[in-house]
Amino acid sequence: MACSVQLVARPKDPAVRTLLIERAAAMLRAREPITLRSLVAGTGVSTMAVYTHFEGMDGLWQALRQEGFTRLGTRLTTVPVSDDPVRDLAALAAAYLDNALTHPDLYRVMFDASVDLEDLPAADATLEHLVQAARRGRDAGRFRADVVPLELAIQSWTIGHGLVSLVATGPLPRETLDHGPFMLRALFTACGDDPDRCRASVEQGWHRPAPDDERSRPA
């Protein structure tokens, strides 16, 4: 009895889901408080749509977190892979910071609440970009052979996230981000990279981030 699940019902419209997420992201950008009623106001859909598609507001926030990770992931994908892995690693960090500062509210949503287990794959996918660059750096001989790519990636992420959260939602001014290259150089040279080559690579990667993939959307 290979009876597949029988769908004899009205299918839920996927357009409604994306509509709500995009509207929520827009309200986030506009710094408007996102409430159930204000979210659906003007969209023509009713409050119940949030429950059929997200099972409540918590589910909406989680979907918003995933959307944030997705956008961050596509942003990191635009960073070109060059023949200089250290430069690429710096460029990834710069892109990370740029993305977080362009969408500070979305970034806060991503890391505010205790991350659900549902979000871990998305976060891992983000981290994977850094891991690959770190591995290429090691295989190219820039880092010592005993450098674990995952660990270097985590350390780079720590610097990026520390800077961003102290600046975007924290007490430090924006100039604090200028410490980024120095800290990355300190980390990379501690992993074995030559100081002069490292300085040049980080300089290049830091100041030439890929353009933002901002999905501009007319009101």
Does 13 contact a second copy by CB under 8 A? no
Residue 32 DSSP class: -
How many residues touch DNA under the rule CB under 7 A: the total is: 28
Does 37 contact DNA by CB under 7 A? yes
Residue 156 CB-density burial (10 A; 0-12 exposed, 13-18 middle, 19+ buried): buried
Which of these, 167, 128, 169, lies nearest to 150 by C-alpha position?
128
Closest approach of a second copy to the CB of residue 47, in Å? 23
Q: Which helix (H) or strand (E) holds 218?
A: none
Q: Which does 18 bind (CB under 5 to 8 A by kind): DNA, a second copy, none?
A: none
Does 145 contact DNA by CB under 7 A? no
Among 22, 26, 29, 52, binds DNA (CB under 7 A): 52
Closest approach of a second copy to the CB of residue 150, in Å? 11
Contact 130/156 with Cβ under 8 angstroms?
yes
Q: How far separated are the first and last CA of the chain, in Å rounded?
A: 51
* Residue nearer to a second copy on the CB measure, 40 or 159: 159
Which of these, 90, 89, 91, lies nearest to 130 by C-alpha position?
89
Q: Which stretch binds a second copy (CB under 8 A): 53-61, 86-94, 180-188, 199-207?
A: 180-188
* Residue nearer to DNA on the CB measure, 19 or 115: 19
d(CA 114, CA 72): 19
* Residue nearer to DNA on the CB measure, 34 or 79: 34
d(CA 12, CA 107): 29
d(CA 86, CA 104): 27
Task: Give the interface with a second copy as residue ranges (CB under 8 A).
Answer: 111-115, 119-120, 123-124, 151, 154-155, 157-163, 165-166, 169-172, 176, 179, 182-183, 185-187, 189-191
Task: Give the interface with DNA as residue ranges (CB under 7 A).
Answer: 6-13, 16, 33-38, 44-53, 56-58
